[in-house]
């Protein structure tokens, strides 16, 4: 796997993930869908989260998947250091192109990881080979190239996705799509306007922005007042009910998919 992430992000993420609306809403969406996926599975199923980072999502998988084995894997030991403070399940430092195990999994989670990897089609192929027949891939990615910003560059994103693009890449690598939808729809106008204003004022292109460290850029992006954070959390939590019903949202700043190996 090509290193396409800055490990400097981990300390800041570990501090903000518990309270920031974006992580809270994403976790709620993931919890809801994982409960639906693993509920019918027999005891002993296997779940792998690739790119588990600080364990922010992994701890929820561990709480939900009590009848199965949950494993977290990340390329960066720095992230696993924080993950160990949150989970007791096995943690593996490894590259998914050369995984340190031969087992196949009933569910693989890939949460805002695919956009970091240059050859996303090859990644999807590799994951396909790691699934059992009928096994499912649950993934989330940032959506809409029009929302590209300095933060995408600082985070070493290679792309943002359109629904049709992700659908095509999943199907061409052999998956059958069970569900795909945008989410974080309510904040799309706010984020879009912010990106456009930044572009018009050339804020993204100033030398100072490019000279800032990854931590400084992340801090600027993730800074939010408690009041606004609470309001956005409340609004976006309403969307999670639609996701739980597998409704398709027409727009959003993020995209999620459930695909399975036939």
Q: How far apart are CA 30 and CA 12, in angstroms?
A: 22
Output the domain CATH number for residue 66: 3.40.50.150
Confidence of residue 206 (pLDDT cuts 50, 70, 90): very low
Answer whether residue 119 is part of any domain. yes
Answer whether residue 245 is part of any domain. yes
- How many residues can be counted in the chain? 262
* Percent of the chain's residues with pLDDT above 70: 90
The total number of structural domains in the chain stands at 1
Confidence of residue 102 (pLDDT cuts 50, 70, 90): confident
Answer whether residue 1 is part of any domain. no
Answer whether residue 2 is part of any domain. no
Q: Is the pLDDT confidence value at 201 over 80? A: no
pLDDT at res. 2: 43
What's the average model confidence in pLDDT over 56-73? 98
pLDDT at res. 215: 55
Tens digits of residue pLDDT in 222-259: 788 899 999 999 999 999 999 999 999 999 999 999 99
pLDDT at res. 207: 44
Contacts 24+ apart (CB under 8 A), 225-230: 229/19, 229/20, 229/21, 230/21
Higher pLDDT, 197 or 38: 38
Confidence of residue 213 (pLDDT cuts 50, 70, 90): low
What's the average model confidence in pLDDT over 143-168? 91
What's the average model confidence in pLDDT over 179-192? 95
Answer whether residue 246 is part of any domain. yes
Residue 96 makes CB contacts below 8 A (sequence gap 6+) with 1, 50, 73, 123, 126, 127, 130
Q: Which pTM value belongs to this model? A: 0.92
pLDDT at res. 98: 79
Q: Which of 31, 1, 37 is nearest to 131 (CA)?
A: 37
What's the mean pLDDT when you consider all of the chain?
90
Answer whether residue 96 is part of any domain. yes
Q: Are 141 and 114 in contact (CB under 8 A)?
A: yes
Q: Is the pLDDT confidence value at 151 over 90? A: no
Answer whether residue 66 is part of any domain. yes
Which residues constitute the domain of residue 216? 9-260
Q: Are 110 and 53 in contact (CB under 8 A)?
A: no
CA 69 to chain CA centroid, Å, is 21
Answer whether residue 92 is part of any domain. yes
Question: Which strands, in side-by-side order, build the sheet including 254-260?
Answer: 91-93, 69-74, 46-50, 105-111, 131-142, 254-260, 176-183
Q: Is the pLDDT confidence value at 16 over 60? A: yes
């Amino acid at each position: 796997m090509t290193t396409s992430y800055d490990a400097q992000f981990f300390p800041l993420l570990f501090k903000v993930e518990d309270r920031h609306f974006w992580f809270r809403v994403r976790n709620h969406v993931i919890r809801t869908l994982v409960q639906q996926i693993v509920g019918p599975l027999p005891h002993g199923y296997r779940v792998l989260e690739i790119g588990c980072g600080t364990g922010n999502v992994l701890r929820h998988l561990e709480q939900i998947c009590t009848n199965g084995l949950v494993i977290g894997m990340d390329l960066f030991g720095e992230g696993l250091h924080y993950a160990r403070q949150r989970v007791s399940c096995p943690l593996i430092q490894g590259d998914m192109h050369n995984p340190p195990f031969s087992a196949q999994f009933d569910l693989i989670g890939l949460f805002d990881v695919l956009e970091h990897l240059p050859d996303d089609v090859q990644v999807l192929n590799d994951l396909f080979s790691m699934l059992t027949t009928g096994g499912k891939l649950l993934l989330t990615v940032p959506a809409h190239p029009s929302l590209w910003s300095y933060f995408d560059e600082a985070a070493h994103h290679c792309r943002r996705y359109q629904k049709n693009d992700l659908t095509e890449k999943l199907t061409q690598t052999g998956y059958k799509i069970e569900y795909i939808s945008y989410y974080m729809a309510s904040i799309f106008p706010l984020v879009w306007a912010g990106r456009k204003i930044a572009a018009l004022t050339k804020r993204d292109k100033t030398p100072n922005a490019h000279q800032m460290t990854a931590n400084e850029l992340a801090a600027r992006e993730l800074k939010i007042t408690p009041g606004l954070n609470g309001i956005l959390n409340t609004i976006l939590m309403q969307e999670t009910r639609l996701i739980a019903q597998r409704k398709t949202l027409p727009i959003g700043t993020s995209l999620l998919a459930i695909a399975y190996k036939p």
